């Protein structure tokens, strides 16, 4: 697979902001096409590799765009705060932890099938690094768990709202939705499944089958309908994930450096050596969450206990882009 000549021209000639718009629009276009449960595992893998062409550009000739990412791509946390200020009489946010662009088709197909009105479909930036607590803090929560049992408090940025955070069956989640005007509901899935399947084997295949089942189920959409009844609803996530099991191995000095720097992870707090490699395989990123070293692009490396087949925290598109789907009924 190669980058379309017109797209490549824009990525190399446009401003960083415009280049990122092109990249995100292309990634959303690739990821959001309809899926069927029967061919989903192979098709999601094919799309993952197609988006990987953009990752290859970003980790080779266009790596400097990563330095501009935090300043030019609106973060999901900022987008939510801006959306929350819209004059809707009632609103709700459903955060599906770790939801990536790969899962977009099931949301779009399910919403259409069940006669929801679709208002916006886009992607925004995760926090850097793309981890759960960074996103929670960006919204003014101490941690994800603070939202449990309406514990969100009065200091967060989505006021006023009833809050919840659970890892329960969708039918049980539906029963938690009361008549409060505004809701922020954070569910642990699919991130809980990402980490369950991050050991040996091709975790993406297993996760894709689970996603197809979960996001096509009547129970999930009954829960969504309960949240959306009388409310404008946004479905989004704190970060995505990388299917690192499909990444090529970094050997020699590069592999040794990445193993020493990141162990089995994809980011490390603080400043430090980014290595002598050109193009870089690690970059120092300064964000509202401090300085971090982050792995660039699609590499995996040998590490004690084996490198996970799915992970997040580094700089690749499906890690740092979160879907943003606005619906009503």
| Contact call for residues 228 and 107 (beta carbons, < 8 A) | no
Provide the b/e sequence for 41-71 (b: ≥16 CB within 10 Å).
bebbbebbeebbbbbbbbbeebbebbeebbe
Which tokens sit at 258? 């990445």
Structure confidence at residue 324 as a pLDDT band (50, 70, 90): very high
**What is the per-residue pLDDT across 264-301, written as a single tens digit (0 to 9) for each?**
999 999 999 999 999 999 999 999 999 999 999 999 99
Average pLDDT over residues 35-43: 96
- 116: alpha, beta or left? (left if phi > 0; alpha if psi -120 to 50): beta
Number of Cβ within 10 Å of residue 86's Cβ equals: 9
User: Which residues of the chain form beta strands (DSSP E)?
Assistant: 91-96, 117-125, 162-166, 183-187, 232-236, 267-269, 282-287, 290-295, 321-328
| Residue showing tokens 């550009």 | 57
**Complete DSSP assignment for 117-145:** EEEEEEEEEPPSS--HHHHHHHTT-S-GG
Q: Report domain extents, the chain.
A: 76-242+318-328
Residue 4 has what pLDDT?
87
**What is the per-residue pLDDT across 98-147, written as a single tens digit (0 to 9) for each?**
999 999 999 999 999 999 999 999 999 999 999 999 999 999 999 999 99
DSSP state of 326: E
Average pLDDT over residues 70-99: 97
Distance, in Å, from the CA atom of 240 to the CA atom of 322, rounded to the nearest integer, reads 6
Average pLDDT over residues 226-233: 98
Distance, in Å, from the CA atom of 101 to the CA atom of 54, rounded to the nearest integer, reads 14
Residue 199 has what pLDDT?
54
Number of Cβ within 10 Å of residue 119's Cβ equals: 12
* Angle value at C-alpha 271, between 269 and 274, nearest 5 degrees: 110
In terms of pTM, does the model score above 0.75?
Answer: yes
Distance, in Å, from the CA atom of 248 to the CA atom of 233, rounded to the nearest integer, reads 39
Distance, in Å, from the CA atom of 208 to the CA atom of 225, rounded to the nearest integer, reads 23
Structure confidence at residue 93 as a pLDDT band (50, 70, 90): very high
Question: Number of helices (H) and strands (E), helices first, in the chain?
Answer: 13, 9
Distance, in Å, from the CA atom of 317 to the CA atom of 25, rounded to the nearest integer, reads 12
Q: Classify strands 183-187 and 91-96 as parallel, antiparallel or unpaired.
A: parallel
Half-sphere exposure (Cβ direction) of 65: Cα atoms closer than 13 Å? 29
**Complete DSSP assignment for 211-228:** HHHHHTSHHHHHHHHHHH
Q: What is the mean pLDDT of the chain?
A: 95
**What is the per-residue pLDDT across 161-211, written as a single tens digit (0 to 9) for each?**
999 999 999 999 999 999 999 999 999 999 999 888 655 556 899 999 999
């Amino acid at each position: 697979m190669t980058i379309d000549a017109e797209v490549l021209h824009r990525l190399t000639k446009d401003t960083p902001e415009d280049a990122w718009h092109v990249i995100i629009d292309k990634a959303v276009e690739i990821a959001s096409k309809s899926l069927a449960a029967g061919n989903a595992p192979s098709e999601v893998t094919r799309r993952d590799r197609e988006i990987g062409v953009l990752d290859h550009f970003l980790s080779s000739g266009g790596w400097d765009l990563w330095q501009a990412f935090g300043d030019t791509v609106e973060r999901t946390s900022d987008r939510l705060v801006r959306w929350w200020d819209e004059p809707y009489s009632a609103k709700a946010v459903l955060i599906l932890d770790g939801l990536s662009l790969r899962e977009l088709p099931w949301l779009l197909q399910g919403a259409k099938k069940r006669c929801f009105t679709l208002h916006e479909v886009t992607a925004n930036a995760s926090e850097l690094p793309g981890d759960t607590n960074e996103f929670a803090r960006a919204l003014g929560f101490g941690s994800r768990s603070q939202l449990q049992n309406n514990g969100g408090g009065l200091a967060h940025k989505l006021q006023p709202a009833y809050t919840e955070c659970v890892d329960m069956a969708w039918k049980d989640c539906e029963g938690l939705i009361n008549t409060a005007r505004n809701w922020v509901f954070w569910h642990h899935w699919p991130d809980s499944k990402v980490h369950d399947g991050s050991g040996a084997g091709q975790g993406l295949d297993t996760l894709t089958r689970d996603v197809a089942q979960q996001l096509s189920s009547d129970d999930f959409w009954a829960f969504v309908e309960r949240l959306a009844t009388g409310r404008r609803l946004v479905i989004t996530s704190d970060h995505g994930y990388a299917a690192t099991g499909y990444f090529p191995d970094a050997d020699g000095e590069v592999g040794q450096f990445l193993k020493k720097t990141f162990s089995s992870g994809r980011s490390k707090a603080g400043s430090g050596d980014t290595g002598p490699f050109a193009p870089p395989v690690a970059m120092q990123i300064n964000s509202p969450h401090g300085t971090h070293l982050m792995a660039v692009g699609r590499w995996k490396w040998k590490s004690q206990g084996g490198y996970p087949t799915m992970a997040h925290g580094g700089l690749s598109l499906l890690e740092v882009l979160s879907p943003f789907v606005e619906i009503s009924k």
